[in-house]
Amino acid sequence: MHVDTVVFDDGRPRNTTSPRMHNVLGWDGTEPARLRAAAREELERYPWVRVVDGTVRGARRETDIELDTPGGPWHTENLLIAAGVEDALLPVPGLAELWGDLVLPCPYCHGHEHAEGPIAVISSGAHADHVGGLLRGLTDEVPLFRPDEVASVTRVGDRALITRHDGRTREVAAVFIPPNPTPRSHIATDLGVRVETDGIVVDALGRTDQPGIWAAGDVARRLDPHIPAAVVTAMAAGLTAAADIASTIAPPPRDGVRGH
């Protein structure tokens, strides 16, 4: 839509430790970095879009929106926050080292690949019931471990070894844990945008409660908690918000009708 756009990105996407990405039609099993590299290349075709590598450290509302960027203050009328989330993993030794590979958050993305089983769940309560139920549709053995009974998780070849505090061990094909996502950036709160524990509050178009500010992807609260946080849903939310931003910027239509 020939809208002058600057993308600030410090290159730490949520699935960065994952060697393979699933549920992205046409890219199944691809390393996530390849998709991002292709996207960067595609953006170069559009002179209205500039990508700046670096962290936006903060933001404040003046007459417009001022971002604290690596090159100094940056002023904009409209802002789309798509800064993603980071996962506060359970404090069990070994989980962080295997995160994205043998320790995983989402059965839809990575369950099938480990269906030879057993697939362990380290969790409790409603999360354990939900994820355990999904995994039992893929494999017969889904051992459940409470987080406080696990001493460590280590790699053994292409499998994971769970060691309990009492010394007992269990070798499994993969381990699923709750992701515990928290926003990667405090830009939304800097700008007084309404943020709940499950993300920035947005409507179906990605509009926040503050004029000129949209949010999309994992950082935004999904309209229904059962909508997966995934690459394709993030892309779809980004497109939806981008279209709404372009339509907001466009001159008013002569017949009063927007959309297409």
Nearer to ligand FAD, 65 or 229 (CB): 229
Measured from the CB atom, is 2 or 97 closer to ligand FAD? 97
Q: Write down the least CB distance from residue 60 to ligand FAD, Å.
A: 14
SS3 state at 96:
helix
Radius of gyration of the chain (CA): 21
Least distance between ligand FAD and beta carbon 206 (Å): 11
Backbone angles phi, psi at 79, to 5 degrees: -135, 130
- What lies within 8 Å, CB to CB, of 97 at 6+ separation is 155
In whole angstroms, how close is the CB of 57 to ligand FAD at the nearest point?
Answer: 7
Q: Which is nearer to ligand FAD, 74 or 145 (CB)?
A: 74
170: part of which helix (H) or strand (E)? strand 169-172
- How far apart, in whole angstroms, are the C-alpha atoms of residue 116 and residue 139? 7
Q: Taking the complex as a whole, how short is the minimal distance between the CB of residue 251 and ligand FAD, in angstroms?
A: 30
Closer residue to ligand FAD (CB): 106 or 164 = 106
Q: Least separation, in Å, of the C-beta of 198 and ligand FAD? A: 14
Structure tokens at 174: 């993969």
Dihedral angle of Cα 223, 185, 80, 48, to the nearest 10 degrees: -140
Q: Per-residue DSSP letters for 200-250?
A: E---TT-B-SSTTEEE-GGGBPPSSTTS---HHHHHHHHHHHHHHHHHHHS
Of the pair 132, 179, the CB lying nearest ligand FAD is at 179
Nearer to ligand FAD, 8 or 74 (CB): 8
Beta bridge partners of 17: none
The residue with its CB nearest to ligand FAD is 217
Site of interaction with ligand FAD (CB under 6 A)? 8-15, 17-18, 21-24, 55-56, 82-84, 87, 99-100, 105, 109, 179, 184-185, 217-219, 229-232, 234
**Smallest separation (angstroms) from ligand FAD to the CB of 54:** 7
Task: Report yes or no: 85 and 182 within 8 Å, Cβ to Cβ.
Answer: yes
